[in-house]
Chains A and B, each alone.
Chain A
């Protein structure tokens, strides 16, 4: 079974703080993704990465950056947290065609910015 681990389940941060959300996958997959989920808006792609040190912007990258220093780890960074970044953040990974294009998600990280 694919295991995607998000280090923090629940965080409360102050406006302007720098926030790190960490994600680790154990399947040696090349592709990793960060989504956020908001009621009525579904799952929106923030950033994704095809390989170490590579990153691509998703649909809503503003206010976020990412880091992929190792294949198994993909970090989402909020440089200066704002209240509109209060959301559930989901890390995901896929092996692409070899895994039937299925994306596997972590448990999610609930971030509240006050």
Chain B
């Protein structure tokens, strides 16, 4: 059973526009959510996170929204830049230093 789902394997967005990546989860024990960005042949790098006590967290061009009742979170990138082309992984954890549960990733392609 997949506890963290990213239903779009890929997403293509024009440079300068908004990119919206979606993630759904099923485990109500998840308390902390993170987004990672991964370039080919490199390890994932941490991008932004949100605690379940919040519904929004913003860091520069990146904003993560959390809807706990719908068990849904999304990552907004505004404006999208060519360097944003990468695979984005959504991850969740109950907290306490346990391993993260990852989604399968969404490949974001920014078109010029």
Interface string of A76-98 (1 = CB under 8 A from B): 00000000000010101011110
Interface residues of B in 27-75 (CB under 8 A from A): 32, 34, 36, 38, 41-46, 49
With a cutoff of 8 Å between Cβ atoms, the chain A residues found around residue B43 in the complex are: 4, 90, 92, 105-108
**Would you give the shortest CB distance from B25 to chain A, in whole angstroms?**
13
With a cutoff of 8 Å between Cβ atoms, the chain A residues found around residue B83 in the complex are: none
Q: Residue A102 at the B interface, CB < 8 A?
A: yes
- Given A41-B104, A96-B96, A100-B49: A90 and B89 within 8 A (CB)? no
Give the interface size class of chain B: 20 to 34
Interface residues of A, dominant DSSP: strand
With a cutoff of 8 Å between Cβ atoms, the chain A residues found around residue B95 in the complex are: 97, 101
Interface string of A10-27 (1 = CB under 8 A from B): 000000000000000000
Q: How far is the CA of A94 from the CA of B95 in the complex (A)?
A: 11
Residue in B42, B49, B97 with the greatest tally of chain A CB atoms within 10 Å: B97
Q: How far is the CA of A42 from the CA of B15 in the complex (A)?
A: 26
Q: Residue A61 at the B interface, CB < 8 A?
A: no
Chain B residues in the interface with A (C-beta under 8 A): 6, 9, 32, 34, 36, 38, 41-46, 49, 89, 91, 93, 95-97, 99-105
